[in-house]
C-alpha cells in the first residue's frame, strides 16, 4: 500500500482490516486484534471500537457490524470469488455485493467485435427462419432447406463460442444459455465489473438499476405460436 499510495495511505480508510482469512471472517468466532506496525505484533486486548489509521487483524463479520453499525444494504462489499467472498455476505448478512472479474474486459471486447456481432445477428435471424418454417411440414423442398439451415446454425453456434475461447467459449454464456458461473454471479452479486477503478466513471450519487430481462413467455413469436415458450 505504501508503494502504491504513499506512506499516508492509511488516512484514506475509516477501517483497515488485514488477515481476515475469508471465508472464516464470515463465521462469528475470531475476535479482532489490534496490530502494532512498529513492532509487527498483535495486541491481545479486546477491540470494542475502531480508530482511523489503526490496523486490525482477523475478526469476524458480526463484530464488524456491531462496532461500525454498518448493516444490510448500507454495506457494499467487493470480492473476486463468488463463494468465498460474496455468497456469505449476501445470504447471511444481506450486504450489497460487487464482483471483480478481470476476464470481463476481454469478454466485452470480443462481444463488440464485428465478427461476433455479425455472426450473432445472422444466427438469431436464421433460428427465427428455422422455427417459423416448421409450419411447412408437408413440403419436402422446405424440409430440405430447413436441414441446410440447421447445419449452418450448428456451425454458427460453434463459431460464436470460439470467438471467446476455442475450447471453453465465453465465461458467461454457452450458446444461448448462461453458464453456471453466470447464474451464480447473478444470484450472489448486485453488480460486477472488470476492475474497481471502473467506478471512477460514475459520481458517488449514481444509482445502478437492474435491467428487465424478458422471460420465455414474454417474447412475441408471432401468429400460431402464442402460448408456447421454451426455456432453452
The last residue of a domain, from among 17, 47, 70: 70
**Shared-domain flag, residues 127 and 189:** no
**Shared-domain flag, residues 112 and 161:** yes
CA distances from 102 to 179, 187, 194 (A): 17, 19, 4
Q: Are 35 and 29 in contact (CB under 8 A)?
A: no
**Shared-domain flag, residues 22 and 77:** no
The DSSP bridge pattern shows strands 76-79 and 96-100 to be parallel
The last residue of a domain, from among 52, 70, 88: 70
Owning domain of residue 13:
1-70
Q: Which three cell numbers stand for residue 69?
A: 453499525
**Shared-domain flag, residues 81 and 110:** no
| Res 56: pLDDT | 95
**Shared-domain flag, residues 109 and 123:** yes
Q: Which three cell numbers stand for residue 99?
A: 464482483
**Shared-domain flag, residues 147 and 117:** yes
- What domain count does the chain have? 3
Containing 107, the helix (H) or strand (E) segment is helix 104-111
Identify whether 63 is part of a domain: yes
**Shared-domain flag, residues 188 and 136:** no
**Shared-domain flag, residues 65 and 75:** no
What is the rounded distance in angstroms from the CA atom of residue 82 to the CA atom of residue 67? 26
Q: Which residues pair with 17 in a beta bridge?
A: 56
Identify whether 15 is part of a domain: yes
* Whole-prediction pTM: 0.77
Q: In a structure prediction context, what are the per-residue pLDDT tens digits for the chain, which is 232 residues long? A: 999 989 999 999 999 999 988 878 888 788 999 998 888 888 888 899 999 999 999 999 899 999 999 888 888 999 998 888 888 888 888 899 999 999 999 999 999 999 999 999 999 999 999 999 888 878 888 889 999 999 999 999 999 999 998 888 999 998 888 999 999 999 999 999 999 999 999 998 999 998 888 888 887 655 444 445 444 4
To the nearest 5 percent, what fractions of the chain are helix, strand and coil?
45, 15, 45
| Res 113: pLDDT | 92
Identify whether 208 is part of a domain: no
Distance of CA 167 to the CA centre of its chain: 22
What is the rounded distance in angstroms from the CA atom of residue 89 to the CA atom of residue 81? 12
Identify whether 209 is part of a domain: no
DSSP string, 160-187: HHHTT-TTT--SSEETTEEPHHHHHHHH
Identify whether 6 is part of a domain: yes
What is the rounded distance in angstroms from the CA atom of residue 162 to the CA atom of residue 38? 53
Containing 47, the helix (H) or strand (E) segment is none
To the nearest 10 degrees (0 to 180), the angle between helices 114-132 and 140-162 is 150
Helix (H, G, I), strand (E, B) or coil at 98: strand
**Shared-domain flag, residues 24 and 50:** yes
**Shared-domain flag, residues 130 and 92:** no
Amino acid at each position: 500500500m505504501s508503494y502504491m499510495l504513499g506512506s499516508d495511505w492509511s488516512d484514506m480508510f475509516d477501517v483497515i482490516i488485514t488477515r481476515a482469512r475469508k471465508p472464516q471472517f464470515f463465521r462469528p468466532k475470531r475476535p479482532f486484534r489490534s496490530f502494532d506496525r512498529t513492532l509487527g505484533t498483535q495486541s491481545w486486548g479486546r477491540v470494542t471500537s475502531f480508530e482511523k489509521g489503526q490496523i486490525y487483524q482477523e475478526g469476524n463479520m458480526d463484530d464488524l457490524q456491531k462496532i461500525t453499525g454498518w448493516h444490510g444494504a448500507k454495506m457494499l462489499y467487493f470480492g473476486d470469488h463468488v463463494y468465498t467472498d460474496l455468497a456469505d455476505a449476501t445470504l447471511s448478512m444481506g450486504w450489497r455485493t460487487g464482483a471483480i472479474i478481470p476476464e470481463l474486459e476481454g469478454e466485452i471486447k470480443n462481444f463488440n467485435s464485428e465478427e461476433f456481432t455479425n455472426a450473432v445477428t445472422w444466427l438469431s435471424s436464421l433460428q427465427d427462419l428455422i422455427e417459423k418454417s416448421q409450419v411447412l411440414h408437408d413440403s419436402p423442398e422446405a424440409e430440405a432447406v430447413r436441414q441446410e439451415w440447421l447445419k449452418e446454425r450448428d456451425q454458427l453456434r460453434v463459431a460464436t463460442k470460439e470467438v471467446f475461447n476455442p475450447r471453453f467459449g465465453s465465461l458467461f454464456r454457452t450458446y444461448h444459455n448462461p453458464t453456471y458461473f453466470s447464474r451464480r454471479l447473478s444470484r450472489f452479486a448486485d453488480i460486477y465489473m472488470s476492475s474497481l477503478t471502473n467506478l471512477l466513471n460514475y459520481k458517488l450519487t449514481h444509482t445502478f438499476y437492474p435491467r428487465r430481462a424478458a422471460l420465455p413467455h414474454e417474447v412475441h413469436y408471432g401468429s400460431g405460436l402464442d402460448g408456447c415458450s421454451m426455456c432453452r
